[in-house]
Structure 1
Amino acid sequence: GYEEARDWALRYVFERNLYLQRSFDIESALRYVHGFEDVIPGQGVAGFEILEGIRALPEPVRRRLARATFLLPTGGGGLTAGVGTVLRRHLPEARVIAVVSAEAPALHFSLIEGRRSEVYLNEKGLCDSGIGLTIPGARPFELLREGLNGSLAVGDGLVGEAMRRIHRHEGLVVEGSAATGLAAVLSGRLPELGVDLKNPVVTIFTGSNIDPARHAGVMRGEEGSGEGR
C-alpha cells in the first residue's frame, strides 16, 4: 500500500541515497538541506535558549544547573550534536546524554562499536516519525562520539508512560520522541551512566507530531504500555 511504500522510501532511499539528494539539487536548481547533517548550528540555538533561561535564574539555582544532566532525544543526531556542543562549551560540568528509541537504536550501537552502524526497523514504534532512523548522520556522529557522556535506549512502554505523565501533569500533547527524556528518567537506569540524581535533570520536548487518534490511544493505554521498558 501507499503507506508501506512511503515508509520504505523514507527509510531505505531518502535517508541513505546521497545520489538522489544531489540529483534533487541539480534538477530543481535548489539546495537540498539534510534534516540532521546540515542543521547542526541551527539546532544549537536551542542550547543558547537553555543558557539564557539559566542566566535569568537566581545564583544558587544557576550553580546547581551548571552540573545538570541534559537528556536529548536523538535519532540522526543533529539536535544532540548542536545542543550538546553549546552546553559542553558553556557548562563544562554538565552531562549530555543521548536518548534513543529501543526500536531504532542506531546511534546507541554506533557509539558502542565506534563507527556508524545501521539497524533494521522491524516495527513502527512510538518514536518512528521523530527519531526512528536506521543510521545516524555522519557529521553528528563525529561530534557525538567524543562529546557525549553516554547514551540510553528506551522502549515504547516507557515512552508511552512518559507521554501520559506529560499530558496529565503539564497538559501537553507530545509525540513519542519528545517524551524520551522523561522516559529515561522513569527507566531508573541513569545512575548506570554516572548521573547523580541530586543534580537537576533537563530535557527538551521536541514536538507534537502525532496523530490525535493515536495520541488518544496512548492515553488510554492501548499503545505504549506493558513491554518495552
Structure 2
Amino acid sequence: MELVTIDDIRAAADRIRPVVVRTPLVPMGEVWVKPESLQRVGSFKIRGAYNAVAALRPAGVVTHSSGNHGQALAYAAKQFGVPCVVVVPEGTPEVKAAAIRGHGAELVVVPPEQRLVAALKLAEERELTMVPPYDHPAVIAGQGTIGLEIVADLPDVEVVAVPVSGGGLASGIATAVKALKPDVTVLGVEPELAADAAESLSAGRPVSWEPARTFRTIADGLRADLSELTFAHLRERLDGIVTVSEDEIRHAMGHLARSARLVAEPSGAVTTAAYLSGRVPEGRTVLVLSGGNVNPDLFREVL
C-alpha cells in the first residue's frame, strides 16, 4: 500500500494556503497547544477537505461525517461552487449540524451504522465524488500540514500528541513530523470508550468497534474506526497510543479554557487530558487541539 509522503504534504500546504489559518503554538504551562479550533470551520478538517476538493476538482461531493469533516467539506465545496451532501449519524450535536447547513450543504441524517452505506448510495445515484473524512491520501496530506507548521514553529520539539479517530489526522501529522524530525515521539490519544485504534495496533490489524460501544464517549468526533490506509500509516509512523477517561476529557476541557483561554470540544481535549494525567512522555511537547465545535450546554457543564 502506497503511503502519503512529505512531498504530498508540502503540495497540500500550497493548495490550502488561501483558506487555512496558520494556527499558533499557544503556551500552556510547560507545553504548547496547537489550536485548530481557530480554523474558520472550528477544526483541522478544513485542511484535508479543501486539499481534496482542490486536487480532485469534482463536479459535486458527498461524505459521511460526525460533524466537523462535514462542515469543512461543505465550506470547501462552496468555495469551488459545487454541490455537497453530508450524511451524519443520529445524535450529531446541533452546533455541527447547523454549521453544515449554514455552508449550504444538504444534510442527511441516518442511524450511525448506516453512514457509509448511505453516502456511497448517494454518490452513485447523484454522480457525486466521495470525499471520506479520513480514508483518502489527499485528506491525509492536508491534515499533515499541521505537522509542517509544528516543526517550523518549534524546531526542537520532542513530543507531539494527536487525537485519533479514523486516523487521518494522526497519519498526516506523523508522516510530516517523522520525515522532518525522525527522533520526535508522535503519540496518539483516544477515549477509553472508543479505543479501537489502540486495540488495532496491538492486534496488528484493523479492529472495528460497533457504534453501540463508541457512542458511549462524549468525544463524538473520535468514534470512527481506522481504515486499511490509516492503519498502515499509524503502524509505520506512530510511536504509540494512550487512552483517557470521560472524566479526564471533561477536566481537560475546563483546564484549556482556564489556563490557555481556548475552547475545546471533547475530541479536541483528549491530548490535554493525556498530558494532565501523566500519560504523555516528558519533553518539549505540542498538544494538538483538533476542534472547538462544542455543544454550549456541555461547555457550561464542564466549566
Residue 232 of structure 2 is aligned to residue 148 of structure 1: no
CA contact (8 A) 1:175 1:209 kept: yes
Residue 162 of structure 1 is aligned with which of 230, 252, 273? Answer: 252
For 2:302, what is the secondary structure of its paired residue? helix
Deviation by residue 1:171-199 (Cα, 9 ceiling, x = unmatched): 22110111111111122233xxxx3x1x2
Residue of structure 2 equivalent to 1:118:
208
Root-mean-square deviation (Å): 1.8
Change in Cα spacing, 1:49 to 1:140, as seen in structure 2 (3 Å) is: same
Deviation by residue 1:95-134 (Cα, 9 ceiling, x = unmatched): 1111011111110110111111112444532212x1122x
Residue 186 of structure 2 is aligned to residue 102 of structure 1: no
Structural mapping, 1:52-71, within 5 Å = 52-54=152-154, 62=155, 64-65=156-157, 68-71=158-161
Residue of structure 2 equivalent to 1:132:
223
For 1:103, what is the secondary structure of its paired residue? helix
Count of paired positions: 194
Change in Cα spacing, 1:79 to 1:138, as seen in structure 2 (3 Å) is: same
Task: Give the Cα separation in 2 of the matches to 1:43 and 1:111.
Answer: 21
CA contact (8 A) 1:72 1:80 kept: yes
Task: Give the Cα separation in 2 of the matches to 1:203 and 1:177.
Answer: 12
Deviation by residue 1:45-92 (Cα, 9 ceiling, x = unmatched): 1111222323xxxxxxx3x32xx1110001000000011100000011
Q: What code does the residue aligned with 1:218 have?
A: V
Change in Cα spacing, 1:10 to 1:142, as seen in structure 2 (3 Å) is: farther
Task: Give the Cα separation in 2 of the matches to 1:189 and 1:23.
Answer: 42
Task: Give the Cα separation in 2 of the matches to 1:169 and 1:188.
Answer: 17
Deviation, 1:10, is 5.4
Residue of structure 1 equivalent to 2:285:
201
Residue of structure 2 equivalent to 1:25:
123
CA contact (8 A) 1:24 1:30 kept: yes
Residue 181 of structure 2 is aligned with which of 66, 81, 91? Answer: 91
Residue 142 of structure 2 is aligned to residue 42 of structure 1: yes
**Structure number having the greater strand percentage:** 2
Task: Give the Cα separation in 2 of the matches to 1:24 and 1:10.
Answer: 15
Task: Give the Cα separation in 2 of the matches to 1:165 and 1:51.
Answer: 25
Task: Give the Cα separation in 2 of the matches to 1:201 and 1:170.
Answer: 15
Task: Give the Cα separation in 2 of the matches to 1:10 and 1:102.
Answer: 23
For 1:14, what is the secondary structure of its paired residue? helix
Structure 1: which 5+ residue stretches go unaligned?
55-61, 220-229
For 2:175, what is the secondary structure of its paired residue? helix
Deviation by residue 1:132-191 (Cα, 9 ceiling, x = unmatched): 22x21221111111211110011111111111110011222110111111111122233x
Residue of structure 2 equivalent to 1:58:
none
Task: Give the Cα separation in 1 of the matches to 2:110 and 2:227.
Answer: 17
Superposition TM-score, scaled by structure 1 size = 0.79
For 1:99, what is the secondary structure of its paired residue? strand
CA contact (8 A) 1:78 1:137 kept: no
Task: Give the Cα separation in 2 of the matches to 1:9 and 1:155.
Answer: 28
Q: What code does the residue aligned with 1:107 have?
A: A
Task: Give the Cα separation in 2 of the matches to 1:177 and 1:10.
Answer: 21
Task: Give the Cα separation in 1 of the matches to 2:261 and 2:163.
Answer: 20
Residue 11 of structure 1 is aligned with which of 82, 105, 112? Answer: 112
Superposition TM-score, scaled by structure 2 size = 0.60
Change in Cα spacing, 1:10 to 1:94, as seen in structure 2 (3 Å) is: farther
For 1:97, what is the secondary structure of its paired residue? strand
Task: Give the Cα separation in 1 of the matches to 2:228 and 2:302.
Answer: 33
Task: Give the Cα separation in 1 of the matches to 2:177 and 2:199.
Answer: 24
Task: Give the Cα separation in 2 of the matches to 1:81 and 1:174.
Answer: 21
Residue 51 of structure 1 is aligned with which of 133, 141, 151? Answer: 151
